[in-house]
């Protein structure tokens, strides 16, 4: 496994790409209102990205048809935007990628539409709080498997379970690079595998299921749901390891 170590100037280029991700996500958060269609939200975000000199990197990636993954209610990740108009009580996840001058950005949030249930508030909070707990735990020399265990313990401590078979990842000159970072300990030994080093840049993205970690991919071959059929949530940041700690590049 070869995990790239970025120079300061490279991290600054990644920061610029990720700043646009953060801005686009904040725009979508503000525009998440009853009656707005998923396709309209997708178009708003793409226009924002283009207006800042970047490209929507998800569009065409592995054949994905849109700029934004819009994951509605039971869809946890990779939702394709449709003509569906948001309704009171919906939960919607947005995942956005950018490319700026050959460097990539990536981030995600989950948002409630209008008044949502207390259960859905806890579901969204699990993804967000787990993400920030994991980021705060990162230290140079820590192993990636230890980080996966932090993610898993944080999710389970809140009464939820991590989606299996999808993971966080490295990022740089490609949207997905080494390493893969599951939201659960893969194997039994957290002290195995590569260590986190200064200059590494990667994405952490807790993907939350309520009862069953098993993935189900729907007929459109993109939308990913849990086998329990219940709502999920998703949060993501791109971070760089600087002076032994993780610094968020995709700040909103």
Contact present, 108 and 25 (Cβ < 8 Å)? yes
Task: Write the pLDDT tens digit of every residue in 20-74.
Answer: 999 999 999 999 999 999 999 999 999 999 999 999 999 999 999 999 999 999 9
**pLDDT bucket at 115, cuts 50 / 70 / 90:** very high
Share of the chain above pLDDT 70, in %: 100
pLDDT of residue 8: 97
How many Å is the Cα radius of gyration of the chain? 17
Residue 87 has pLDDT above 70, yes or no: yes
**pLDDT bucket at 222, cuts 50 / 70 / 90:** very high
Contact present, 195 and 142 (Cβ < 8 Å)? yes
What are the DSSP E strand ranges found in the chain? 55-56, 68-72, 75-77, 91-100, 103-112, 161-162, 167-170, 177-182, 201-204, 207-209, 215-217, 224-226, 233-234, 237-242, 245-248
Share of the chain above pLDDT 90, in %: 99
Contact present, 77 and 106 (Cβ < 8 Å)? no
User: What's the rounded mean pLDDT across residues 231-241?
Assistant: 98
As a whole number of angstroms, the distance between CA 40 and CA 235 comes to 21
User: What's the rounded mean pLDDT across residues 163-169?
Assistant: 98
**pLDDT bucket at 252, cuts 50 / 70 / 90:** confident
List the chain domain ranges: 8-248
The residues, any chain, with a CB within 8 Å of residue 12's CB and separated by 6 or more, are: none
11 backbone dihedrals φ, ψ, rounded to 5°: -65, -35
Q: Provide the token pair at 194.
A: 């590569």
What is the third-level CATH fold of 8-248? Creatine Amidinohydrolase (3.90.230)
25 backbone dihedrals φ, ψ, rounded to 5°: -65, -40
As a whole number of angstroms, the distance between CA 234 and CA 216 comes to 16
20 backbone dihedrals φ, ψ, rounded to 5°: -70, -40
């Amino acid at each position: 496994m070869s995990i790239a170590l970025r120079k300061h100037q490279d991290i600054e280029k990644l920061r610029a790409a990720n700043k646009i991700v953060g801005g686009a996500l904040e725009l979508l958060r503000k525009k998440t209102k009853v009656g707005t269609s998923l396709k309209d939200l997708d178009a708003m975000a793409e226009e924002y990205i283009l207006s800042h000199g970047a490209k929507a990197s998800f569009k065409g990636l592995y054949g994905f048809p849109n700029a934004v993954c819009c994951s509605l209610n039971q869809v946890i990740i990779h939702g394709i935007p449709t003509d569906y108009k948001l309704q009171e009580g919906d939960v919607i996840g947005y995942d956005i990628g950018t490319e700026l001058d050959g460097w990539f950005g990536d981030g995600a949030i989950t948002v409630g539409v209008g008044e949502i249930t207390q259960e859905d508030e806890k579901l969204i909070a699990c993804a967000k709080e787990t993400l920030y707990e994991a980021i705060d735990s990162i230290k140079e020399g820590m192993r990636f498997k230890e980080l996966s265990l932090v993610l898993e313990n944080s999710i389970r401590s809140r009464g939820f379970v991590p989606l299996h078979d999808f993971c966080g990842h490295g990022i740089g000159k490609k949207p997905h690079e080494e390493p893969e970072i599951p939201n659960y300990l893969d194997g039994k030994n957290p002290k195995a595998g590569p260590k986190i080093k200064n200059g590494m840049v990667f994405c952490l993205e807790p993907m939350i299921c309520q009862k069953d970690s098993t993935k189900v991919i729907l007929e459109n071959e993109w939308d990913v749901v849990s086998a329990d059929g219940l709502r999920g949530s998703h949060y993501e940041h791109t971070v760089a390891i600087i002076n032994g700690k993780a610094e968020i590049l995709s700040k909103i």
